[in-house]
Structure 1
Amino acid sequence: MEVLQKRPSSKGPSEWFTGDVWFDVIYAGNEPSRMRVNLVRFAPGSRTAWHRHAVGQTLHVTEGIGLVQSRGGEIVVMRPGDTVHTPPGEWHWHGAAPDHFMAHLAMWEGPAEPGVPETEWGDHVTDAEYNAPA
């Protein structure tokens, strides 16, 4: 058994996020584990850019109210206790509702193939996309 050292909280980079976002790396597995877990905290109105994961991603909302959308799909409201899975390669974004903070656990795996990026980042979600009816 190994007790992992706590890393400091990190501000979400502006290339990946709109608004005020902070995350804590809970676990970043070493081979043979490829598991990744982050606790991500979003201020009201903040969100990720469009992105996709090579092996998919699962979100589990721990507090607040959030939004998630897959490219071409409808915006879905997320509440504490909700778990949402995005399949491998599906473009999506997620973040806080306009008037609520939101925190979630983000869980994904790194790909088994060497050189394949875990996450591919795209354009920022526009205000028009974010404010579309849920």
Structure 2
Amino acid sequence: MSKNEEVKNGVIFPVGEKNTAYAQYFVGQSYLKSLVADPEVNVGVGNVTFETGCRNNWHIHRNGYQILLVTGGEGWYQEDGKPAQHLEPGDVIVTHDGVKHWHGAAKDSWFEHVAITAGTPEWLEPVSDELYDNLQQ
């Protein structure tokens, strides 16, 4: 049994549907629930849920930023050239314009965060299994 399985039922916000629109940019299964879909608001807000071991590819936000509000489970965040940060509920991550990074679940835990995103994502290469498998809490 994996840790934090209650996350799959939604901790604060609904889990949403399988994230098929962005599946090509993830290793493993993620789920997405849009929380703000107002065309007059120039920012996306979504609840992203990751099954154990799921992570997104390296990516950059162009002409914008991303704020992650961790709401459930355990996960990781890493900027290129810096050590990975272990994430737990209550952690807040701010990624500035042009910073290459990735985020996702721990190997043995479901993970959930609210992503507040402005700008255009540039999706890059997957996080290598070697890098991910060597992460230490």
Shift of 1:10: 3.8
Partner of 2:23, secondary structure, is coil
**Following the alignment from structure 1 to structure 2, what is the Cα–Cα distance between the partners of residues 28 and 34?**
10
**Structure 2 residue matching 1:99: 3-state secondary structure:** coil
Q: 1:98 aligns with which of 100, 107, 123?
A: 107
Partner SS for 1:15: helix
TM-score, normalised on structure 2?
0.81
Task: Pick the aligned partner of 1:122 from 110, 121, 124.
Answer: 124
Deviation at 1:28, TM superposition (A): 3.1
Structure 1: stretches of 5+ with no match in the other structure: 1-5, 111-117
Q: 2:71 aligns with which of 39, 52, 62?
A: 62
Deviations 1:96-122 (A, max 9, x none): 001110000000123xxxxxxx11100
RMSD value over aligned CA atoms? 1.7
Superposition misfits of 4+ residues, deviation over 4 angstroms: none
**Counterparts of 2:123 and 2:37, CA distance in 1:** 19
Equivalent residues of 1:68, 1:94 under 8 A apart: yes
Partner of residue 3, structure 2? none
TM-score (norm 1): 0.83
**Alpha-carbon separation, structure 2, partners of 1:20 and 1:63:** 16
Tell me the alpha carbon deviations over residues 52-107 of structure 1, each in whole angstroms, 9 at most, x when there is no partner.
11211000110000101001110100100110111111010000001110000000
Match of 1:44 among 20, 45, 52: 52
Conserved 8 A contact 2:23-2:29: no
C-alpha distance in structure 2 between counterparts of 1:24 and 1:133, whole Å: 28
Residue 84, structure 1, aligned to residue 86, structure 2:
no
Select the structure of larger CA radius of gyration.
1
Instruction: Tell me which protein shows more helix as a share of its residues.
Output: 2
Q: Which amino acid aligns with 2:131?
A: E
Shift of 1:15: 1.5
Secondary structure at the counterpart of residue 130 of structure 2:
helix
